[in-house]
A and B are shown apart, each in its own frame.
Chain A
Amino acid sequence: MSKTNANRTGNSLLRTGAVWLILAAALAAMFLIALGVGSSGYSLKEILHALGQAEPANTTERNIRIIVTQLRLPRALLALLVGSCLSVAGALLQSVMRNPLADPGTIGVSAGAGTAAITILLLFPHLSYSVPLFAFLGAALACLLIYLLAWKGGVDPVRIILSGVAVNSVLGGYNAFLQLQNSDNLQGVLGFMNGSLAGRSWQEVRVMAVYAAAGLLLALCCIKNANALQLGDEMAKNLGIRVNGARVALSAVSAFLAAATVSEVGMIGFVGLVAPHIARMLVGSNYKILIPTCILTGSLMVLLADTLGRTVWPGTEIPVGIVMSVTGGPFFLYMLRKRGNFRGN
């Protein structure tokens, strides 16, 4: 029997490996497609040539090189970073709130970051260099607010989502009001409201890479706590977890990841909902395997959505935030109908 057991354990490792390999391959393929398609399309050979070290031989090659390395490459990389951060942020929130429907976009965490960022930009423009800090504070505050509203002798997963939706809507109203009041200065604000990767350069990639590296490393430190919290508060406490401390730590890391993306590319919803859900279906709920899988599904999703957004309607850029809302909303409803991920005993 021990032999078949070993085989089964081996099978599940093999399965995880296969899932990662397939996702990585899909991501690589999508990455090349994202570099190739657009207002002018390039072949794989042209892309690789442009990415290579050789000096461009003529103007055409030089143009291709500029478009690929200065426009599409940073944008694609940014999509990967943003997707990873949002996806992992969602996965962590889902453990903290014990609800697979939690997502920084839908329950107001991103809106908290956006609200803080917009407020700073419009009302205190001399502080604009500290937008990321305030975005994080806004996200953390939104988290806290959702908790306080949902707390009633304990945290009920449904109440969390409902109070999150309420927080999201109030913050949305406030943001809309600020826009009306400052209609002469909408450029910066609109960027936050509809997350978009258009026109982002290597500068944003560098900043985002630092945030992503820090946030994802912190997320790895959360794996044990995230797993324990899925077993309920009392069981987690029994296992020696400081439940409240773990909640705060996980929420903070999640808020940090979400706020980092908001301050660089604006609000993008549903990635934190859909990408972890797909990852869960593929590899299960053990965060040790789930978090790396979320990084893959999240980056694949944002890259796909952004590429679709800039190619599906020639001549028009649909911001990636809008693509995600249009496709993510129906997905959210689908998940609401088919709950049952968590089974009581």
Chain B
Amino acid sequence: MNQIVKITIDGVECMATKGQYITDAAKENGIYIPTLCNYEGVKPRGSCRICTVKVNGRLMTACTTPVSENMEIENNADEIQELREAIIELLFIEGNHFCPACEKSGSCELQALAYRFHMMVPRFPYSFPQQEIDATNPKLVKDQNRCILCKRCIRAIKDEKGRSVFAYKRRSRHVEISIDPKIGKSLSDEMAQQAMDVCPVGALLVRERGFVVPIGERKYDNEPIGSDIEKLKE
């Protein structure tokens, strides 16, 4: 039987299931903790650090930290928000994110977070990395310019034998996502669409379907990211 524990998030008392990750517990209590590399149904990795919270005074990633009795979590403190803003800005300057012509615009989680955090312009200089487009897969186009290396595609998209369709290649600042040449060839339409949906940005695109969703019907056209969770509170 699940053990219920008491925690506080920004001083508000919440009930959670012992062992549940902080992000999930917060969500059940109608509190939004931003995430980017985390994806429902996939083991969390804590790599993007956008979900950083203070747990009993220490900075921790909420997506990988299980709740425990009397845990005191700070989510909205200025220090935390400032840290998240900086992370978002760094993600923008590390890649080539030209939202105006990106078909994921309006449904992009990175763009939606930038809007939620009122980012106007990054404080850091753009790095304008030289990145390539891999358009050789019959179902998908991979645009490394927009990849934030969250590994969501690697962790979530597997073939019927459980093999990953995507993998990292190269090292350090040269690391990038690659599509397995053999498994990638037999990718179904559904899996290609799933890969595009799993990608939080516009790095994976289903071929020849760009801009089919009209403005007004895209994921974040009408409400900021996190609104669905915050509505639970109401």
Q: Do A and B come from one complex?
A: no
